[in-house]
Amino acid sequence: MRDVFIVGVGLTEVGKRVDVALRDLAAEAVVKAMEDAGNEKPEAIVVGNMLSSLVEQENLAALIADHTGLRGVSGFKAEGACGSGGAALLAGYSLVSSGLFDKVLVVGIEKLHERPTPDTARGLAYAADADYELIYGISFAGLNALVMRYYMDKHNVTREEMAHWAVMMHENAYHNPYAQLRKKITLETVINSPVIADPVRLFDSCPLSDGAAAIMLVSEKYRKLNDTPVKVAGIGNALDSPDLSSRFELDRFIAAKLSTERALRMANVSINDVDVAEIHDAYSIVAAISIEEIGFAERGKAPKLWAEGRFRPGDKPVLNPSGGLKARGHPVGATGVYQVAEIAMQLRGDFPGLKVGGEVGLAQNIGGVGSNVTTVVLRR
Amino acid sequence: MRDVFIVGVGLTEVGKRVDVALRDLAAEAVVKAMEDAGNEKPEAIVVGNMLSSLVEQENLAALIADHTGLRGVSGFKAEGACGSGGAALLAGYSLVSSGLFDKVLVVGIEKLHERPTPDTARGLAYAADADYELIYGISFAGLNALVMRYYMDKHNVTREEMAHWAVMMHENAYHNPYAQLRKKITLETVINSPVIADPVRLFDSCPLSDGAAAIMLVSEKYRKLNDTPVKVAGIGNALDSPDLSSRFELDRFIAAKLSTERALRMANVSINDVDVAEIHDAYSIVAAISIEEIGFAERGKAPKLWAEGRFRPGDKPVLNPSGGLKARGHPVGATGVYQVAEIAMQLRGDFPGLKVGGEVGLAQNIGGVGSNVTTVVLRR
């Protein structure tokens, strides 16, 4: 298996990006990533996206390649619900690692503000099981609410403990120029915010986001394109049932555990080696379970740890210095690419927000309610 | 680059499959492919699909893995419009070739009869450019009609010459138990059929199809899972602009040419070595241009050759012994997987329809109007 390196990253500001077309937003990230990689062009592109069908556009690889001067390269779109960015990275990694290509650009793109919010909310639930869940009218927030209720009851977690996550994420995002929500909040902001799907409140949830991110993956031959290449030391993915009713335990994401184990084994590092991580906090409950499945906390203990002040800059590991999905934002199919780009920049030392440094970083991108999970381990 | 072999294939009957749910149709192909591969389970699955969003279902890799007893494996969906099956094969090939996995199942699935035909027809046009083409109301047939008109005028091709393609495809499909249209037709059937988008008539066009196909790809270590493993000798993909107005030549598919060159170079074979091929005849005009870009005919000459009786069983190459998209049917995201499975069975000698044999086979899957093309070369 050939080694794969990150030699270029490009991020766009996350938010309500109705100022630009989908292809233009993608191009902004692509051009930045190519510039970061010494203006080198890729031989292939993989696009991570979930919901461009809502604007009647598929075939994004061809569309974005054409719009960025890359007509003739190879490529396709990779989709795994909210885990599409991670899926695209797995595809891109294997295209380089196999020797089929030496330079592959992975582009995550999502525009959720193109359609009225109810339509977008319905679209996000395509990650669930259409025949056994969506048909009953449940929303994606509603599914996460079921898990949150069960988890809080089972592990005696308080409303206040859960709320600390959002406060911490807003503190981190305050420094991140790409973040959607750059405003500090208090525990009261979270606890008194409107209920979306009991017990999920507005500030337990990530915002609706538009955004694009791009990463240039290369083989050994091209690692010198950047002064500080970052090695993709491990990558693991796992699938679980989209339908929650068929899960064995509602407070666990087995796919998150499996994908973490696969990525760590491949990277030959222990979870204790990880200095910094970006995890998938679409809801605070998802953050809790992700932290526990990765192994940063015992089962049922993550909220207690973060309420005590763990995972902040200065701790090991630092979690979500970007502000996470909660405050950086969650441009669905782009999120997994943002996370890995942010970790790469932390290890390089040039993340434009909170700098926490480190030698080993991890990113975990979760699709559905834990049904398609990709974990990536990076090494300086 | 590690060698990759096909050790299992599974096809379902193409047609109006309203008798089964999407996941059940996919499972039928998956189970057959696993049985063909000695009941071996894959470590990962890649799903080729374009339009499951029309039934509000994404996250297909997780859904199908769960439904087929594969919870916990890795995977994602690959999309490249009507070329999604080919894109999934490229992804699957690289997952094995890289060494990340030894056994990867590629599943193509599409159900176009779940929604009213106008909705499905609109969905198929998501392969085009939403902002520059679809917004004007043009259909996918309409875009192909523009190309057909231009091609026939430029190369002095007659209506009768074009019509021979459909007649030949129906003759071939007559013997294929998986084909959607198993009925022989005459030139008059084609020429007198209703106009869909002038000059495209009903019988110049493939039908709307449901279907699923699966292929088990393995590394050298597992090639013995099947008595007659078939080697994936070459695979090439290329992208072109979805928007026809920005093409340099309207009667050419540059991506088809590039992807063919890439696949042949990798396989180290000449186009003259190819005994049998499955090409992407979504419309007879697409067959003509594909044949020419692959190199089976000079530019503008394909219809004359097929009208003279070329490409039939006994010739070299034989084209579309399955009946092609025209008569086997075109279950969009599954088509590229059908094509490669059919060629593998031809080389193995167990295709249940017209058997044409051969040592070297080729399949070309085209997404959009030539905007995402994958070409695969197989060797016995």
Q: Which pLDDT tens digit goes with each residue over B10-40?
A: 999 999 999 999 999 999 999 999 999 999 9
Residue B122: its chain A contacts at CB < 8 A? 56
Shortest CB distance from A66 goes to which of B57, B79, B242?
A: B242
Which chain B residue lies closest to A254 (C-alpha atoms)? Answer: B72
Cβ-contact A321, A346 below 8 angstroms: yes
Which domain-ending residue is among B195, B229, B263? Answer: B229
SS3 (DSSP) at B171? helix
Smallest Cα distance from A193 to chain B, Å: 30
Q: For this structure, is A164 an active site residue?
A: no
> Cα separation of B345 and B109, whole Å?
19
Q: Give per-residue pLDDT as tens, B262-278.
A: 999 999 999 999 999 99
Buried b / exposed e across A313-344, counting CB within 10 Å, b at 16+?
eeeebbbbbbbbbbbbbbbbbbbbbbbbbbbb
- Write the secondary structure of chain A as one string of H (helix), E (strand) and C (coil): CCCEEEEEEEECCCECCCCCCHHHHHHHHHHHHHHHCCCCCCCEEEEECCCHHHHCCCCHHHHHHHHCCCCCCEEEEEEECECHHHHHHHHHHHHHHCCCCCEEEEEEEEECCCCCHHHHHHHHHHHCCCCCCHHHCCCHHHHHHHHHHHHHHHHCCCHHHHHHHHHHHHHHHCCCCCCCCCCCCCHHHHHCCCEEECCEEHHHECCCCEEEEEEEEEEHHHHHHCCCCEEEEEEEEEECCCCHHHCCCCCCCHHHHHHHHHHHHHHCCCHHHCCEEECCCCEHHHHHHHHHHHCCCCCCCHHHHHHCCCCCECECCEECCCCHHHHCCCCHHHHHHHHHHHHHHHHHCCCCCCCCCCCEEEEEEEECCCCEEEEEEEEC
Question: Looking at the complex, does the CB of residue B333 fall below 8 Å from at least one CB of chain A?
Answer: no
Q: What does the pLDDT average to over A276-305?
A: 98
If asked whether residues B173 and B322 sit together in one domain, one would say yes
CB-CB under 8 Å, B75 with A237: yes
pLDDT band at A367 (very low <50, low <70, confident <90, very high): very high
The CATH number given to whatever domain includes residue B79 is 3.40.47.10
Q: Give per-residue pLDDT as tens, B42-58.
A: 999 999 999 999 999 99
> Cα separation of B274 and B270, whole Å?
7
If asked whether residues A268 and A203 sit together in one domain, one would say yes
Output the pLDDT for position B202.
98
The first and second tokens of residue B27, run together, are 């499972």
Catalytic residue among A164, A170, A280, A330: A330
Smallest Cα distance from B214 to chain A, Å: 18
Shortest CB distance from A97 goes to which of B78, B90, B100?
A: B100
Catalytic residue among B82, B164, B170, B280: B82
Residue B125: its chain A contacts at CB < 8 A? 56
Which domain-ending residue is among B229, B264, B299? Answer: B229
Task: Give how many domains chain A has, as a whole number.
Answer: 2
If asked whether residues B91 and B193 sit together in one domain, one would say no
If asked whether residues A47 and A110 sit together in one domain, one would say yes
Shortest CB distance from A63 goes to which of B59, B100, B129?
A: B129
The reply to whether B100 falls in a domain is yes
Question: Looking at the complex, does the CB of residue A245 fall below 8 Å from at least one CB of chain B?
Answer: no
If asked whether residues A244 and A356 sit together in one domain, one would say yes
CB-CB under 8 Å, A91 with B81: no
Question: Looking at the complex, does the CB of residue B336 fall below 8 Å from at least one CB of chain A?
Answer: no
- Which domain covers residue A94, as residue numbers? 4-116+209-225
Which domain-ending residue is among A192, A225, A258? Answer: A225
Residue A23: its chain B contacts at CB < 8 A? 131
* H-helix or E-strand spanning residue B108: strand B103-111
If asked whether residues B144 and B282 sit together in one domain, one would say yes
Smallest Cα distance from A373 to chain B, Å: 9
Q: What does the pLDDT average to over B132-149?
A: 95
Long-range Cβ contacts of B122-125 (<8 Å, 24+ apart): B122/A56, B123/A53, B123/B50, B123/B51, B123/B53, B123/B54, B124/B51, B124/B82, B124/B332, B125/A56
Output the pLDDT for position A134.
93
Omega prior to A199 cis, within 30 of 0: yes
If asked whether residues B65 and B38 sit together in one domain, one would say yes
> Cα separation of A348 and A355, whole Å?
10
Question: Looking at the complex, does the CB of residue A243 fall below 8 Å from at least one CB of chain B?
Answer: yes
Cβ-contact B284, B164 below 8 angstroms: no
Question: Looking at the complex, does the CB of residue A84 fall below 8 Å from at least one CB of chain B?
Answer: yes
Residue B94: its chain A contacts at CB < 8 A? 91, 94-95, 97-98, 100
The reply to whether B124 falls in a domain is no
pLDDT band at B103 (very low <50, low <70, confident <90, very high): very high
The reply to whether B187 falls in a domain is yes
Which chain A residue lies closest to B87 (C-alpha atoms)? Answer: A76
Q: Provide the 10 A C-beta neighbour count for residue B350.
A: 12
Residue in B60, B74, B124 to test binding to A, most A beta-carbons within 10 Å? B74
The reply to whether A133 falls in a domain is no
Cβ-contact A14, A196 below 8 angstroms: no
Output the pLDDT for position A117.
95
If asked whether residues A336 and A303 sit together in one domain, one would say yes
If asked whether residues A19 and A89 sit together in one domain, one would say yes
Residue in A20, A56, A58, A247 to test binding to B, most B beta-carbons within 10 Å? A58
Output the pLDDT for position B208.
97
Indicate if ipTM > 0.95. Answer: yes
Residue in A239, A245, A293, A371 to test binding to B, most B beta-carbons within 10 Å? A239
Residue in B63, B115, B244, B266 to test binding to A, most A beta-carbons within 10 Å? B63
CB-CB under 8 Å, B74 with A76: no
Of the candidates B180, B177, B216, B212, the residue with the CA atom closest to the CA atom of residue B24: B212
The reply to whether A61 falls in a domain is yes
The reply to whether B131 falls in a domain is no
Residue A79: its chain B contacts at CB < 8 A? 58-60, 76-79
Q: Give per-residue pLDDT as tens, B237-255.
A: 999 999 999 999 999 999 9
Which chain B residue lies closest to A51 (C-alpha atoms)? Answer: B53
Smallest Cα distance from B161 to chain A, Å: 31
Catalytic residue among A67, A82, A164, A280: A82
Of the candidates B345, B369, B344, B11, the residue with the CA atom closest to the CA atom of residue B200: B369
pLDDT band at A338 (very low <50, low <70, confident <90, very high): very high
CB-CB under 8 Å, A21 with B75: no
Which chain A residue lies closest to B253 (C-alpha atoms)? Answer: A72
Residue in A23, A59, A110 to test binding to B, most B beta-carbons within 10 Å? A59
Average pLDDT score, chain A = 97
If asked whether residues B18 and B88 sit together in one domain, one would say yes
Output the pLDDT for position A152.
98
Q: What does the pLDDT average to over A211-221?
A: 98
Q: For this structure, is A330 an active site residue?
A: yes
The reply to whether A125 falls in a domain is no
Average pLDDT score, chain B = 97
Hey, which residues 193-212 in chain B have their CB within 8 Å of chain A?
Answer: none
Question: Looking at the complex, does the CB of residue B238 fall below 8 Å from at least one CB of chain A?
Answer: yes
CB-CB under 8 Å, A72 with B246: no
Q: In chain A, what is the straight-line distance between the N-terminal and C-terminal CA atoms, in Å?
A: 19
Q: Give per-residue pLDDT as tens, B304-342.
A: 999 999 999 999 999 999 999 999 999 999 999 999 999
Which chain B residue lies closest to A49 (C-alpha atoms)? Answer: B79
Omega prior to B199 cis, within 30 of 0: yes
Output the pLDDT for position B261.
98
Hey, which residues 93-152 in chain A have their CB within 8 Å of chain B?
Answer: 93-95, 97-100, 122-123, 125-131, 134
Q: In chain B, what is the straight-line distance between the N-terminal and C-terminal CA atoms, in Å?
A: 19
If asked whether residues A214 and A294 sit together in one domain, one would say no
* pTM reported for the whole predicted model: 0.98
Residue A140: its chain B contacts at CB < 8 A? none
If asked whether residues A333 and A359 sit together in one domain, one would say yes
The reply to whether B130 falls in a domain is no
pLDDT band at A235 (very low <50, low <70, confident <90, very high): very high
Residue B367: its chain A contacts at CB < 8 A? 59, 62
